[in-house]
Structure 1
């Protein structure tokens, strides 16, 4: 259980709609589909209607500050089956990175790797009380593309299983390049939060509106004006 799972959900019935990709930068083909994840007839480039509207607002804010820059959509909607695929893929990748095989893993090694996986990935739960954020249509993974059409260097790739994924990892560094990474992350944070999103405390790229994590983060900052989650798992 994550701390945000204590937040109740009352589904509001809001439509699930396509992101107007012409307004954003997009990684193509979709990064998880390249790895073999299957979405079937569903598209990862869909979100709840209000989430799409707020994403457009964030893009507009970015353009005011940095003309020619774009929010790049890395991932949006994620069925639980895709969540499971990526959890399993991340575990297998980490095992291989350590020069091990599944048969060689000790229980302690296995537990350690799973702990690292679930620092980044939500449990692919089918329990209606604990849906993975991306499976609600409320969460989006994003980065920035500059006016030269280049992806802005954030100091770590999306989905990296390391401390570098923490939003403020570079905040106190005195190295100029590290400060650049932090400033880039702050630009992304500022436009997304201004539009109404909340950022995952453990991932610089993950933002959401209307799910349990969003409500949990909102309530920490506004204890006298608490909210509940409005989006449950789709499909």
Structure 2
């Protein structure tokens, strides 16, 4: 199982509630994980901590002069959903590569699990090491135009490939659309970072605020070791 350096960051839970993301935001329906049968129970993938939602509203306002808006793919994720999606991703990668998931050589299984955990957080039940989405402080999103049409970003959300790296098109500028994809990713990053979010190092679509990953990234940027997380795992 992959080690995530941010899980060593202390959490001082602030107690903010989970609140629904309002309909003033474009939310992608049907929700992809619910469509797969992920076990949300009574929880919603379109919940966030109240402070995170306030920051998301600032990011939305940043985009208005561009004629764009945020399109919410996924936000709150119970641990059971994280477990479900990690297992689903492993099975999908096995199938994609022509392997029987039940009869894998150990070396191949290890390599596939490494790919899974490069992008997906470990579905840990340890309250000191919660997956970011299980804190209500992380959101996966993309851009849409005023009419709600999704913009092409040069790769799908959750795609297990190098194209998911935020700077992929800056490093690979060849192709007629590369500059466009790079610019759109940069505008999304600017909108979210100006509102206080940090972007996942491996995913152009994942942003968080106040969780362990956010605190770890802030520590790396500022060298201030007293920055800690204010959102821990929240169960519903």
TM normalised by structure 2 equals 0.95
Q: Could you say which residue in structure 2 is the equivalent of 1:173?
A: 172
**Aligned equivalents of 1:9, 1:219: Cα separation in 2:** 14
**Aligned equivalents of 1:27, 1:126: Cα separation in 2:** 28
Q: Could you say which residue in structure 2 is the equivalent of 1:194?
A: 194
CA contact 1:173–1:179 (8 Å) conserved in 2: no
Q: Summarize the alignment of residues 1-235 of structure 1 with structure 2, pairs less than 5 Å apart.
A: 1-20=3-22, 22-63=23-64, 65-67=65-67, 69-175=68-174, 176-224=176-224, 226-235=226-235
**Aligned equivalents of 2:150, 2:19: Cα separation in 1:** 26
Deviation at 1:73, TM superposition (A): 0.4
SS of the residue corresponding to residue 102 of structure 2 reads: helix
Deviation at 1:89, TM superposition (A): 0.3
Moved over 3 A (4+): none
Deviation at 1:172, TM superposition (A): 2.7
TM normalised by structure 1 equals 0.95
CA contact 1:192–1:198 (8 Å) conserved in 2: yes
Deviation at 1:211, TM superposition (A): 0.2
CA contact 1:71–1:142 (8 Å) conserved in 2: yes
Which range is displaced more, 94-103 or 107-116? 94-103
**Aligned equivalents of 2:108, 2:25: Cα separation in 1:** 41
Alignment RMSD: 1.2
Deviation at 1:167, TM superposition (A): 0.4
**Aligned equivalents of 2:104, 2:199: Cα separation in 1:** 34
Q: Count matched residues.
A: 232
Gaps of 5+ in 1: none
**Aligned equivalents of 2:223, 2:97: Cα separation in 1:** 43
Which range is displaced more, 222-231 or 89-98? 222-231
SS of the residue corresponding to residue 191 of structure 2 reads: helix
CA contact 1:73–1:143 (8 Å) conserved in 2: yes
Which range is displaced more, 224-233 or 11-20? 224-233
Which range is displaced more, 190-199 or 95-104? 95-104
CA-to-partner distance for each residue in 1:44-72, whole Å, 9 max, x for gaps? 11110000000011001111x313x2100
